[in-house]
Each structure stands twice: as C-alpha cells, then as structure tokens.
Structure 1
Amino acid sequence: MGREELSISVPSPFRCPISMEVMKSPVSLCTGVTYDRSSIQHWLESGHDTCPATMQVLPSKHLVPNLTLHRLIHLWLLHHHHSSLNSPSSSSSSTAALISSEQVRIFVDMIEGDNGGQLDCHDYLAKIVDFAKVRDENRRFLAHSKSFVEVIVSFLCKSREIEVLELVVRVLYLIMSQKGVEERVRGLIFGSNNQKYFSSICLLLRDGSLSSKIESVRILESLASDSESKRGIAEKEDLVSVLFHLLNSDNANTADLHDAILSCLIAVSGSRFGKSKLIRLGLVRVLSERLSNPNTKTSTAEKSLNLLSVAASCGEGRSTISEDSKQCVAAVVERLMKAGTEDAVAVLWGMCCLHGDRKVKDVVVKSNGVTKLLLVMQSEYCEGHVRRMCAELLKVLRDGFKSAASGGLGLGRYETKTTHIMPC
C-alpha cells in the first residue's frame, strides 16, 4: 500500500489540519480544534497567537490531550490493517509483505506520541517485527527512520510485560547490524542511568522464550565493544549471575543459548575488571563442567576453551585452574585434537611453561597429555606458535624424567610409548 492510497483512506477527523497527516498525538486548543502536538507547537513557537483553522486570537495557549480521538485513531489503524489482510486481493500474500513503510511510520509515530500511555502498543510492535523480518531493505528503513531506535529502546525502560519486551528485543536484534544502530543503542543505554534497561533484559533472560533469551544475549555481546561498555555489563551483578545460571542448565534445547552466552562472556572478559569479576563468580568451574560434559557440542567446547585461555592470563584465573586442576586440566587435555586445540595448548603452556605449576603438570601427565601433545604436533593444523608451545610443553614435561627418582613427576612410563613420534 503506497502513501497516496493510504492518504485517500484516512478519515478527515484523523488528519492534522496543519500537516494533513494522521495525528500521532492529538491535542485541542481552547477553540475546540484538534491538531497534532508537534504541528501546533511549531505554529505557536513561531510567534503566532491564533488558531490556524479559525484564526481566532487565543486567550490561552494551553494544549489538552484529546485521548478519545487518540484511541479512535489507534483502533482505526488496527482495523484498517486487518481489513487489508482479509481482502480477496491480498489472500495470496504474506502478512509481513502487506505492511507498507508508510504504515510502519504511522505505527512508530503513534507509539512515540503515546505520552499518556493510553495505547496497547503490542500490536504495533508485532507489525513492526513482521515488517523487519521480510527483507534487509525494510530493516534499513527502520534503522534510518527518525527517532525509531530511540522509541524502541525506550520500551526497555517503561515496560515490564514479557510479550512487549520480547518484541522490542526481536526488532532490535533484526536491525542491530544496520549502520549506526549499534552505536546509537550503546549510547542510549550506557549514556544514562541504565539499571532499568538491564533489569528488563534480566527479566527476559529469566522468563522469556528461548529465542528471546538468545537474542538478548547477542544484543549484549554487540554492545560490549569497548572497555567502558564491557565493564558496564560486568558490573551488573544480577545480569552476570543470570547468565551463569543459564550456562549451568543442562538441556539439549539450550545448546544455542550456551553458545551465545559464551560469546557474550568472551566479549565482556575483554576488560580487566570483567575478567576478574567473572573468575570470582565461578567462571573456571562453569567452563570445567562444560568441557567435562561429553554431550557438549564442538562450538561450545571451542568457546569454553577460548574463555579459559582468557582466565589463564591473570593470576586469579591461574590460581583457580590450579585448585580445580583434576577436573579442569584433565578436561582440557581430553579436548586436545577435538576442539579448540590452539586455546587448549595455550592454557597448558601458560600453566606449565610460563608459571611452572607442578599440580597442573602432574595432571597433564596422568591424563596422557604427553602423547596427545605429540599427536597435535604431528597434525597438519599445528603450525607456528602452536607448534612452538607444544615443543616447550614437551620439554618442560620431559624434564620431569630427571626428577622421577627423587619424587618428581614420574614421566618415565611415557618414554617408550611416544619416542616413535617425538619431535626432532
């Protein structure tokens, strides 16, 4: 439906006498004439003291919201939309394809102009989501529409209805990759008192559908692109706690959610504060459990190892890994040659070579780590710094042979098993 066709079908009382557009926030002057708020405010602020329609001098410039007309316009828009969907000519088309850019603009205007909270915005948001799902051109239209991002993000502050929040997150997720949207959303959320925004996201993570949880987490990951936003997310104790709780859930249907959470935590851990916070909350334990679970899918294991290598880069993380070495290090060794080989080698190298942790060395040996490291070196994927780390690991572990007789690591039993593939 184009702009001309829509204009013809608009009842005249719904049009602003000044702009001739559908009123999004109808207000009445003391003369009884109703205008769209933005149009009459511009008229009055330009120095006029008369009613544009009657030209009467105004004894008062007070604007009274016309809530009845506002509600009638809202009902008309919904009825007009449903009628177009039920017409014979539209029976072969999808619902989303029948929503025009002009209709969406009116939907957004109505939501933005609902200063009194008189409208049920769920239907408008649902239609906007339908529009955004169709094609990239529609998503660009929304992203570049004046104040659209600001209007949508505002719902994270003013609504506590799960159904509304799910639609808000859905449309944000759909347009997040459009040019400039990520920066605008980040500026809105982190440029203010942002507790309400994150409270709504926490609510979705607890009670929302699986898809809305995944989309919420991916939006968080997109926002964590600089040190300030990484720290800002990490500081939200409730938010990080909910993410950890979800990561601990062991359900086959949540594998994609686990992947999304791990990607988000990798992004958040980019700041020193975020890294320390995550470790104190039990990051190493959670990752150990993921890596030890044989049902963990490959992508989840790879991200777990990546995050574990981040934890191993600071003292708190290394101390925790050492304390939990029986489960954590054994799980890392088990994942060699299966997933995330580079990160797995990096964790072992950091603990054994860089920091000489004897407990970790012992677990590596007892878990048949020497043989697996040799196999890694023989694989076609082992190149450059990974090969060098493997060689240094083997050297450090091999040095344990010399102290075996005096209570060392006792590596002698591995010598005859691996000499046929020992590196040159």
Structure 2
Amino acid sequence: MILSWRSRRKSKKSKNPGQEINSDMEILNPRHFCCPISLDLMKDPVTLSTGITYDRESIEKWIEDGNLTCPVTNQVLASYDQIPNHSIRKMIQDWCVENRSFGVERIPTPRVPVTPYEVSETCKRVNDATKRGEQKKCRELVRKIKNWGKESERNKKCVVENGAGCVLSACFESFASVSNEDLLGEILSVLVWIPLGEEGQSKLGSVQSLNCLVWFLTSGDLSARQNAVLVLKNLLALDQKHVKNLVEIEGVFAGLVKLIKEPICPTATKASLMAIFYMTSPSSFNEKMVPMFEEMGLVSVIIEILVDGDKSICEKALGVLDHIFDCKEGREKAYENALIVAVLIKKILRVSDLASELSVSILWKLFKNSQDRSEDGGVVVEALQVGAFQKLLVLLQVGCGESTKEKLKELLKLLNLCRVRLDCFDSTADFKYLKRSH
C-alpha cells in the first residue's frame, strides 16, 4: 500500500510556463520511505539486525507486544538493538523538501532517545548529590531528566521504568526543609508525570514533604501551585493515610478551595476536587475537615461550578458534595443555599450515569435529614417546584444501580406525599408529554 499527499494549494505555477498544478493532483510516497508495519512515511527510521528498516515507534510497539521475529523476514531477532538509519532519514527529508509545493511537510530530525543506562546513571548521581547536600548539582540533574521527558513519551516511559520516581521523591524530602524553591519546583514538575511507587509515596508523605507541598500550594507561582496539587492528588489516591498529617498543616484547606474559586486551569481544578474528595471520604474522615471547608465557602463554590462545569468537573464536584453531606454541618450549608436543589435536579440525566447517581445520593441525604418538610417550604417543596418528581420517575424507568434505585423509590414516596398534601400538581395529570432530558 502506498499513501499519497494531496496538494494544499488550489493552483501553483510550475517551472514550465502555462503549466499548473491542480489541487486534485496527488503525489505518491516512495515505497522504500514507508514503514513496513504502519505503511506511513517513516519519521525515525531504524534498522534491525536482519537489515530491515522500520519506523522506531512501530517496531518498538511490535517488540513490546512480545514478538521475537522481524516482521518482514520472520527471522528470530538475534538482537533488539535499533540502529538509526541516518541515510534513509536524510533521503526522506530531502524528498519532503522537494515536494513541499504539494503540501508535504518536512520530517523533523528526531532526537536520539534516552537509554535505560543513561537514566539509571543520572538517578545514581542525583542520589549521591542528595546525600552530599549539593543542591546546585541536583537541580542540574533534575532538569536533565525533565528535558528527557519533554522530548517524547518514549523517554518518559524509560525514565519511569528506571526508578526516577523514588530517587526524586527522596531528593524532595531531603531538601524540603531547606526551602530551595528552584530545586523543589523542578522536582515537582517531573513528579506530576512519574508514578510514585510505595517508597516514593512514603517520602512525599512525610511531615516535612507535606509541609513543603502545602507551601507551594499556597505561596508558589501558578505553575508551582498546579504541580503541587497534582502531586498531592496522586499521593492521596495511592494511600489516604496521609490525610491525618495533611489536615494538621495550616493553609491546606484554603489552598485547595482557592484553586476552585480562582481556577488556574481545568486540570488544577479537577486535581483540587479529587484531593478534597479523598480527604473527605469516610475512610479518612476527620471532624476538623468539613467545618474548615465550610468556613472557606466550599459548598457555595462547588454549586457555582456545577452550573456550567463539564462532565469531568461535574462528576468530581458531585462526589465531593456527596461526602460532605454525610456531615450535619455540610447539610446545613446546603439547606441555606437556594440553588442546590435546582442544580442537582438539572444534572440528573444530563451529564452521565455517575453524575445522576451522585445527584440522587445527595438529594436522598438532604431529604432524609431535613427537618422541614412542612407546607411552609423545605427542600422537598423546592424539589417539586423544579420538576424533581418527573425527572426522578424517568430515571427510575430508564434504569440505574440497585442502591440508586432504592434511594429513588424513597425520594419519590416523599415527593408524592408532599405533592398530594400541598396540591402542587393535578393528581390526575399524566406524563405523556414528559420529555427525557438527555
């Protein structure tokens, strides 16, 4: 199979007067420039021990999938070494330049990928420099690792597989009390894409490391704050036992809520919501947390972002509310908010199955614990006024999990009792005109 490029220009004068290149003209990729596996133009041609040249990305995937032979010759590979074929790469680049008038883009010269040996040696040097307290040397080596990761996903994978996460976590802990902002900031920028591992999380979960993370969360620049909350979220996702030490650190609640109130980017907002989600989960619940979050106005902030939030943000925000409303103080703040019921009803059947289930769970907690179900008002009446009965009935008919179904039945009973008592709706009304919201 030979792929082709189509000219991106409507017309162009050729070297011969009066001759034009029409936009419908095509140019074929030379067969020997295409990877035998992907059939695409090779970006980083490498040659195996069998003498056949492939694109590096394609042949690496072939080998990683457990294949031990050359795809073309079917010979067993005596070596997995991939030798860069500079001659073919230069020919491909020259051909791209010659045909740029047809819209062919020049293949950039690929960087030589980092090797496991280079990563291991660099990590060893970071470890040695950390023990000697050489901050400047550590910063140079961390930047080297950071630059490798920027070059390609392959390099990132190589860095991760050769123990960088544990070494950098130990380095961060060692210099956390020194407050070297440049060095520690560089380490955080790498740790956001490196899995921590068991030893790495123990280093970052220490009291001095957590104090430093919170400092970056509250006092760092925008990039540092984003990196800090991402690392913190990853740390809590691995083990929520770190919550105990974290809640004792001054400023952590304000820092997390500020990232939601004054968002840097969606990634930081989602990470902050997830960190709060882990901190407020039943397994790590601390009675200090909910009142502290309430002082920061967390419930009101979350309700505001729910109004126009995307699917991912809505699911995470609803998850946080579901945890917070397990606590009486959290529910009291909800009862004071005029938007809460309307927003929750709106999210049912509009975002995702998870968002619908979380919304039902939150409503169930609010209804179940509400002491005001009288004719004067209350969350039940508010729900009826915004069409909760119809919405929940449709959700029950569409289908949901068993736990959610039981809560739905209880909610519908409460709504129906209140509906009849208050005569909010005509009891003979049918729902043939009811539209599903999704």
TM-score range, shorter chain: 0.5 to 0.7
Q: Deviations over 1:383-411 (max 9, x none)?
A: 3121221121111111113432xxxxx42
Q: In 1, are the aligned partners of 2:260 and 2:301 still within 8 Å (CA)?
A: yes
Task: Give 1:199's aligned amino acid.
Answer: W
Consecutive unaligned residues of structure 2, counting only runs of 5 or more, are 1-107
- Percent sequence identity over aligned pairs: 19
Residue-pair matches, total: 310
Deviation track 1:120-142 (CA, whole Å, cap 9, x = no partner) reads 64322111223466143432323
Tell me the residue number matched to 1:12: none
Q: Which among 313, 319, 343 is matched to residue 326 of structure 2?
A: 313
Would you say the 8 A contact 2:319–2:358 is kept in 1? yes
The one-character-per-residue Cα deviations of 1:155-212 (angstroms, maximum 9, x if unpaired) are 3332343x433321123233334353223422xx23x5953453234333xx132xx5
Counterpart amino acid of 2:345? V
CA distance in structure 1 between the aligned counterparts of 2:119 and 2:170, rounded to whole angstroms? 18
- 1:199 counterpart = 2:240: no
Q: CA deviation at 1:308?
A: 0.9
Using the alignment, how far apart are the partners of 1:144 and 1:376 within structure 2?
45
- From 202, 219, 224, the counterpart of 2:231: 219
Change (3 A) 1:196 1:258: closer
Matched, 1:170 2:189: yes
- Out of 270, 274, 297, the residue aligned to residue 263 of structure 1 is 274
* Aligned match of 1:5: none
Q: TM-score when scaled to structure 2?
A: 0.63
Q: State the Cα distance separating 1:242 from its structure 2 match.
A: 1.9
For the residues of structure 2 that align with 1:415 and 1:184, how far apart are their CA atoms?
65
| Contact residue 217 and residue 256 of structure 2 kept, 8 A | no
Is 1:142 the counterpart of 2:155 in the alignment? Answer: no
Hey, what's the Cα distance between the residues in 1 that align with 2:318 and 2:156? 36
Aligned twin of 2:114: 97
Residue 297 in 1 paired to residue 310 in 2?
A: yes
Is the partner of 2:349 in helix, strand or coil?
A: coil
Q: Is 1:154 the equivalent of 2:166?
A: no
Q: Closer, same or farther in 2 for the Cα pair 1:96/1:249, shift >3 Å?
A: farther
Deviates more, 1:130-139 or 1:345-354: 130-139
1:364 aligned onto 2:377: no
- Alignment check: 8 A CA contact 1:333 1:367 kept: yes
2:217·2:226 contact (CA, 8 Å) conserved in 1?
A: no
- Residue 419 of structure 2 corresponds to 401
- TM-score with structure 1 length normalisation? 0.65
Matched, 1:392 2:410: yes
Q: Secondary structure at the match of 1:108?
A: helix
Among candidates 385, 392, 403, match of residue 373 of structure 1: 392
List gaps (5 residues or longer) in structure 1.
1-90, 405-409
1: CA distance between counterparts of 2:295 and 2:428? 39
Deviation at 1:228, TM superposition (A): 4.7
For residues 308-347 of structure 1, the aligned pairs below 5 Å read 308-324=321-337, 326-339=338-351, 340-347=355-362
* Amino acid corresponding to residue 330 of structure 2 in structure 1: G
**For 2:413 and 2:291, how far apart are their aligned partners in 1?**
31
Q: Deviations over 1:224-278 (max 9, x none)?
A: 365652132233342221221120126xx71222111111110111213333432
The CA deviation at 1:338 is 1.7
Aligned partner of 1:128 in structure 2 is 145
- Report if aligned partners of 2:381, 2:418 keep a CA contact under 8 Å in 1: no
Q: Is the 8 A contact 1:259 1:303 kept in 2?
A: yes
